[in-house]
Amino acid sequence: MSKVQLQERYNKFSKAAKFNLNSEELFCVCRSVDDGELMVACDGCDEWFHFRCMKLDSKYKDLVNNFYCIFCNELFHKGSTLWKKKCRLEGCYKPVRIDNSTQKVSKYCCDEHGVEYMQNELLKRFSESTKECKLSEPEIVSVITQVDNFTEFQDLGKEMPIYQGMDVDLPEDKARRLDELNTELAELKQLEQLYVAKEKYMVKLKEKIKLINEKLAGSETGAQTKKSKKPKVDVCGYDSRLIMNNERWSEFEGSDEYKKMLQDVDLGMSDDQLKSAYEESQPVLGLCMVEKKKCIKHATWFSIQYDTVMLKLNEILYKIAEVEKTKSRLDREWNLEKIEQQSI
């Protein structure tokens, strides 16, 4: 109905007589007397309307929460009709029960209807889809009677059952796959160790460079005590052993050279030796002795190498996690397979 039509109808309705010739009150859009037919009052204008005239099915009478007539709703937008939630049982048009104290909303009007609904539902599933429901009736009964209470029943299937029968040998293909995964894991763990050691080495290396810088600065101030300003020494300190491949690095880890690098104080040379090496830019302990600012090619070498080590380490840890995940998946699959075998 268009807005104009509706307005016209409302005008007609509002101007119509309120009483008939017998002084009986008239109701609804049909302007007839109250003959006991089902009516509902509008919450917008307090007028009474027939269910029939409002095109409402009388079986919904218990479900009306708020009612707004067509004029209040569509013309004046005072509100629209609200319905209560219907009982889930087919054919029941009573509103659902609401617990007064807890305000919890049920799905049914009463307990009886709840039980009836569930019964119907179960019957329906059994009758129409025996193919889908692989469990037979006695099986379902045995499952239900196995548990003590409702929570236990709800918890069924939450956890993977664990096979508890006789030991069964892993089939060949699965055993091979598991072997492969274990070998891979061992290799990865070894690599992880290598990079962890490399990271530790780099931390030590930093200390070593600091020590060299201090010694150089110290020796220089010793020679030039007159000068008020300490000449600051900051060597590049790049260690080319950091870029060795894993094989050679492992070799290096076992060498005396490596142990020397990890020692705390001793540089293994006199201060004079150190000083002359610095002046001639000769490497000390395999470290680049060029002044940091002048060493363009090794600029920011520490952070580059450190990031590389950390990237590798993260990558290895990720791979380890992946392999573990695959392993546990294989485990689960095999467990299930055994249980299925057992139940047959």
The residue ranges that bind another protein (CB under 8 A) are 131, 238, 240, 243, 296-299, 304, 307-308, 311, 315, 329
Smaller CB distance to another protein: residue 144 or 243? 243
CB of 172 to another protein, least distance (A): 16
Whether 40 contacts 51, CB under 8 Å: yes
Smallest gap from residue 303 Cβ to another protein (A): 9
In terms of CB distance, is 3 or 131 closer to another protein?
Answer: 131
Q: How far is the CB of 311 from another protein (least distance, A)?
A: 6
Q: Which residue, 225 or 343, has its beta carbon nearer to another protein?
A: 343
- Of 51 and 238, the one with the shorter C-beta distance to another protein is 238
> Please, which residue, 124 or 329, has the CB nearer to another protein?
329
CB closer to another protein, 259 vs 329: 329
**Minimum CB separation from another protein for residue 340, in Å?**
12
Name the minimum Å distance from CB 300 to another protein: 9
Strand partners, 339: none
From the CB of 2, what's the least distance to another protein, in Å? Answer: 32
- Residue partners of 26: CB distance under 8 A and separation at least 6: 16, 17, 18, 19, 20, 32, 33
d(CA 131, CA 302): 67
Rounded least distance, CB 138 to another protein, Å: 23
Toward another protein, which CB reaches closer, 155 or 307? 307
